[in-house]
Amino acid sequence: MRRLGTVLTAVVLAGAAVSATTVSATAAPATGAAPAAAPSATCDTGGWGSALKSAEARDHQPLKKIRTGRHACYDRMVFEVPTAGGKPVGYRVGYVDALHQDGSGERIPVGGGAILEIRVAAPSYDPGTGQSTYPGRAGKPLPGVDIKGYRTFEDTRFAASFEGDTQIGLGVRKRLPFRVVQQKNRLIVDVAHS
């Protein structure tokens, strides 16, 4: 009887150790690793879709910064465009077969399974002085943007700043649903993981 008790105790302790390891592995991802995705049942992407989304430009203030972030259900790109009173920023976001630079029409290669073309009604220069406000260079990755470890984003390319608009190519894993959100001086593009 004592031997049976010892075996049962060992089995219970082994189960507790496995359970503790599983909890700690999912609770905090390793530094630099993408956060664990939530089950798709909890990722509400209703109404996102993959069709073209746009808003009319009301003002053309200079683009200051582009940054990205990883979330449980999507990857995010944020365009910072300080506007007077937080006016909405015009945009046109949609999937394209190839990215062609505004003005020249030159094709800019973008890695990934699909290309999301993002046009923001904000030049990368100050229209009054002509001085650069965002250091993007045609055909190059976005400066200061590191998307290593992202689940959806695979490549970023600056295309052009032409006639008051800045054009970006975002390479994504495949054609996935996305949304565009305005928050004061920010234009946000979220692309779902699935």
pLDDT of 1 reads 44
pLDDT of 32 reads 36
State which fold the 50-192 domain adopts. Immunoglobulin-like (2.60.40)
Residues 107, 172: Cα–Cα separation, whole Å: 18
- C-alpha dihedral sign at 79, 81, 86, 90: negative
CB 132 within 8 A of CB 125: yes
Query: What are the sequence ranges of the domains in the chain?
Result: 1-29, 50-192
Higher pLDDT, 18 or 43: 43
Kindly state the greatest CA–CA separation across the chain: 89
> pTM of the prediction?
0.77
Residue 87 neighbours by CB under 8 Å, 6+ apart: 58, 59
In the predicted model, is pLDDT for residue 18 greater than 70?
A: no
pLDDT of 46 reads 86
Read off the pLDDT band of 105 (50, 70, 90): very high
pLDDT of 108 reads 98
Read off the pLDDT band of 170 (50, 70, 90): very high
What tokens does 49 get?
């879709």
Vertex 131, ends 163 and 98: CA angle to 5°?
40
CB 116 within 8 A of CB 93: yes
pLDDT digits (tens, 9 = 90+) for 123-152: 999 988 999 999 999 999 999 999 999 999
How many CA atoms does the CB half-sphere of 40 hold within 13 Å?
Answer: 4
Strand, helix or coil at 108? strand
What tokens does 26 get?
């999912």
- DSSP class of 98: S
Residues 126, 118: Cα–Cα separation, whole Å: 20
pLDDT digits (tens, 9 = 90+) for 55-85: 998 778 999 999 999 999 999 999 999 887 7
In the predicted model, is pLDDT for residue 186 greater than 60?
A: yes
Residue with tokens 């060992």: 10
pLDDT digits (tens, 9 = 90+) for 86-99: 788 999 999 999 99
pLDDT of 150 reads 98
